[in-house]
Amino acid sequence: MYVIEINNLSKRFRNTIALQEVSLTVKRGEIFGLLGPNGSGKTTLIRCLLGLIRPTSGSATLFNQYDIVRDMYEIRKRSSLLPQEANCVEMLTARENILYQGGIHSGDVIPKEELEKRTDELLEVVELVDRQHELTKTFSGGMKRRVMVASTLITDPDLIFLDEPTTGIDILGAQTIRTLIQNLSSQNKSIFLTTHDLTDINELCDRVAIIVNGRIIALGTPADLEVEHNVQDIKDVYTKLVRKARLEATIKT
């Protein structure tokens, strides 16, 4: 079963073509990585899939049955997003941040009585039990990101969108986030993450799509792509393809 099936999705903003005929599928339980430089269309694709913006053309189906434009509500009940620029509410403690996020959904997706219990569990998952009563403004970038991940998980989503989850935090912080993502995947959650960090791809992703200028230029397992392009490392695939795509874009303009 596909949790995500995208067919020829395009998105144009006035003069910018942000996505060009993107097609890909994500299987249940998979960690799928969308790898691309800044401005390549990663966030735009996530926003389309969650019904936050409408595609200009093309379509996508989530959970084998929900159309991204028509069934936005059903999709949001079953999925969750860690936005790229997400931040904690710094005047609240770690625990309060998670509860606050849960409160927004309570009575809707989460029964109120379950909220406290689930918050306890999530604090364990992100390893912040002993710091839960401290204000998040005192936290490191990596700890804040973990609070945000826990907040994202409060609705117990089957599909989790993580927009650059490891960007902007230090190496150890990023490594902790990667372990967390692996643990989620082993609970059969499906994960769609974006990154421009090749470590994320090498250590996390079952399959990867490389996107440049809104177009998918490679798709497969990291190992398949290495074989296909006759190189030792996904880094070389990326460098080769991004350079080529940029060169072609320069020739066209």
How far is Cα of residue 119 from the mean position of the Cα atoms in its chain?
Answer: 21
What is the C-alpha to C-alpha distance for residues 1 and 28, in angstroms, rounded to an integer? 6
From the list 42, 118, 144, 189, which residue makes contact with ligand ADP (rule: CB under 6 A)?
42
Binding residue for ligand ADP (CB under 6 A) from 7, 16, 64, 140?
Answer: 16
Selected from 36, 51, 55, 102, the binder of ligand ADP by CB under 6 A is 36
Between residues 59 and 167, which has the closer beta carbon with respect to ligand ADP?
A: 167
41 binds ligand ADP (CB under 6 A): yes
Residue among 18, 35, 43, 154 that touches Mg ion (CB under 5 A): 43
Q: Which does 55 bind (CB under 5 to 8 A by kind): Mg ion, ligand ADP, none?
A: none
Is there binding between residue 215 and ligand ADP (CB under 6 A)?
no
The answer to whether the beta carbons of residues 207 and 33 sit under 8 Å apart is: yes
Q: Which residue has the tokens 């393809």?
A: 241
Report the interface residues with ligand ADP, using CB under 6 A.
13, 16, 18, 36, 38-44
Report the interface residues with Mg ion, using CB under 5 A.
42-43, 84
